[in-house]
Amino acid sequence: MAEYSRIAKGSFTSTGGAKIVNLPFQPDAIEMWNYSSFATPANHGVPYAYWDAAMGQGFAIENVFNSTPVLTSDTVIANGFSTFAAGQLLQYGTRLGITGITKASAAVVTTASAHGYASGDVVVFTGLFQTQFTAGMPQLSDILFTVTVLSPTTFSIPWNTNQSNFTALSGSPTGAYVKKVLYPYLYAPGTAVISAITTGTTTTIDTTSAHNFRVGQEVAFRIPPQWGTIELNSLPNVRTPGSPIYGYVIAVTDYNTVVVNIDSSTYTAFNSNQTVTSTPGLSFAQIVAVGDVNTGGELISAGSALYPPPIIEPIGTIQVGTINGPAIKGAYFNNTSQGFIIGVGVGVNDASSVLVGANGNTIYWRAYLSDIALP
């Protein structure tokens, strides 16, 4: 290695699904050690794996235990190690047909084939007509939704479709598709579509995907008239001429629920029961971060990182570090990410081995970028 080579290392607990690792570079070589597999050798366990860019995307070489267990070698030729670089626009995965969506809160989606999603992935729908132009759920099209996986062919989305203007989808309707958004948080906190609003002395906002807000965050609302609760919109502040009215986040309930300090007791109720005929040109209700920096900061104390980068929280308690430098908590930052993915690829010889390991396994990794790569 020479002057401009780069090395990064880290660890994580496997969920059994593909693991995305954000880095400030795209590596040309990756090593992985499964501590759990080393500690307790068992049939199909993969304690060590390696990838080089010359192998091609999705490949890997690995050590794997057989039933004895004795360590042998194997290769992965699909869904192994791969690198990525997000652009300035959203990128999408393979389009999958939809066989049905239930009328429920939360709505459950069934795909025509295995979707391969993990809880926390973000998807977008197109079509969703049960009867063309008159019935179905086209109101959900073009909204980014965080999914909760229920089975290999089903997942739920945070939206109440058990309303009069939604018709359950069934029978694999023509033109109904879902696509994974590969890198949904190019900018964070970003803009989140609102799925529900609970009014009161404080206001609770539910969003369709991760909001990534923090306590102390300053926020604004963009709510078209058909969604109700237009009183939240950032109208001029009568006390400070020329200044809009904003709200502040006072509690973060979970990845897609946040409480702001606005008293909305007398405001119009939120209406997510939009009609099918309103779908063309439908604008969504949104909550957005205000400005580049906001109140509050990341804690710096004994044992903490001195300059912690901002994080995103795609679902539940999962936190994903970004490639950015230090930032004020709640800052609106660029997250056009890059790095690598450890996939769920299986061995050519041992089809029961899984590269990323089983749920709960402790994984260590090291990634390299060499400034000189000889043929």
pLDDT tens digits, one per residue of 75-102: 999 999 999 888 777 889 899 999 999 9
pLDDT of 57 over the 80 cut: yes
Q: Is the pLDDT of residue 343 over 60?
A: yes
> What does the pLDDT read at residue 2?
52
Instruction: Give me the residue spans of the domains in the chain.
Output: 6-86+338-369, 96-181, 187-289
Confidence band (pLDDT; 50, 70, 90) for 297?
low
Identify the helix (H) or strand (E) that includes residue 339.
strand 338-342
List, in sequence order, every residue forming a beta bridge with 288; answer none if it has no partner: 191, 220
Question: 326 pLDDT band (50/70/90 cuts)?
Answer: low
Would you place residue 295 in the very low, low, confident or very high pLDDT band (cuts 50, 70, 90)?
Answer: very low
355: burial class by Cβ within 10 Å (0-12, 13-18, 19+)? buried
For residue 186, the model assigns a pLDDT of 84
Biggest alpha carbon distance in the chain?
77
17 or 193: which leads in pLDDT:
193
pLDDT of residue 298: 58
Mean pLDDT computed over 311-318: 82
Looking at residue 330, its pLDDT comes to 61
Q: Does domain 96-181 have CATH number 2.40.30.180?
A: yes
Bond into 69 cis (ω within 30): yes
| Buried/exposed code over 324-348 (b: 16+ C-beta within 10 A; e: otherwise) | beebbbbbbbebebbbbbbbbbbbe
What's the predicted TM-score (pTM) here? Answer: 0.79
- Cα–Cα distance, 321 to 250 (Å, whole number): 23
What is the pLDDT, as a whole number, of residue 329?
A: 61
Percent of the chain with pLDDT over 90: 65
pLDDT at position 176 is 96
Q: What is the pLDDT of residue 183?
A: 85
pLDDT-derived band at 1, boundaries 50, 70, 90: very low
Average pLDDT over residues 167-182: 95
Residue 247 CA to residue 215 CA, distance in Å, equals 11
Least confident residue range of 29-43, 242-256, 281-295, 345-359: 281-295
Nearest-angstrom CA–CA distance, 175 and 155: 19
Question: Average pLDDT of 260-281?
Answer: 94
Q: Residues 6 or more apart from 351 whose CB is under 8 A from it?
A: none
Find the length of the chain.
Answer: 375
- pLDDT value at residue 308: 65
HSE-CB for 316 with a 13 A CA cutoff: 9
To the nearest whole number, what is the mean pLDDT of the chain? Answer: 89
C-alpha 101/C-alpha 124 separation (Å) is: 14
Only one residue has tokens 């062919």, namely: 153
In this predicted structure, what is the pLDDT of residue 293?
44
The pLDDT tens digits for 104-162 are 999 999 999 999 898 999 999 999 999 988 899 999 999 999 999 999 999 999 999 99
Please state which architecture CATH assigns to domain 187-289. Answer: Beta Barrel (2.40)
What is the spatial distance between Cα 100 and Cα 108, in angstroms, rounded to a whole number?
Answer: 8
- Whole-number pLDDT of residue 296: 42
Q: In the block, which residue shows the tokens 């939240």? A: 232
Tell me the mean pLDDT in the region 175-196. Answer: 90
| Alpha-carbon distance values, 339 to 60, 84, 290 (Å) | 16, 6, 29
Q: What is the pLDDT of residue 152?
A: 94
The C-alpha angle 110, 111, 117, rounded to 5 degrees, equals: 100
Helix or strand holding residue 39 (H, E)? helix 35-39
Higher pLDDT: 18 or 138? It is 138
**Residue 334 token pair:** 């660029």
Helices (H), the chain: 35-39
- The pLDDT value recorded for residue 301 is 64
> Which of the given ranges, 11-20, 54-63, 217-226, 331-340, has the highest pLDDT on average?
54-63
The domains spanning 96-181 and 187-289 adopt the same CATH topology: yes
Task: Say yes or no to pLDDT of 237 above 90.
Answer: no
Tell me what pLDDT residue 110 has.
98
Query: Does residue 238 register a pLDDT over 70?
Result: no
Q: Which of 257-261, 293-297, 320-324 has the lowest mean pLDDT?
A: 293-297
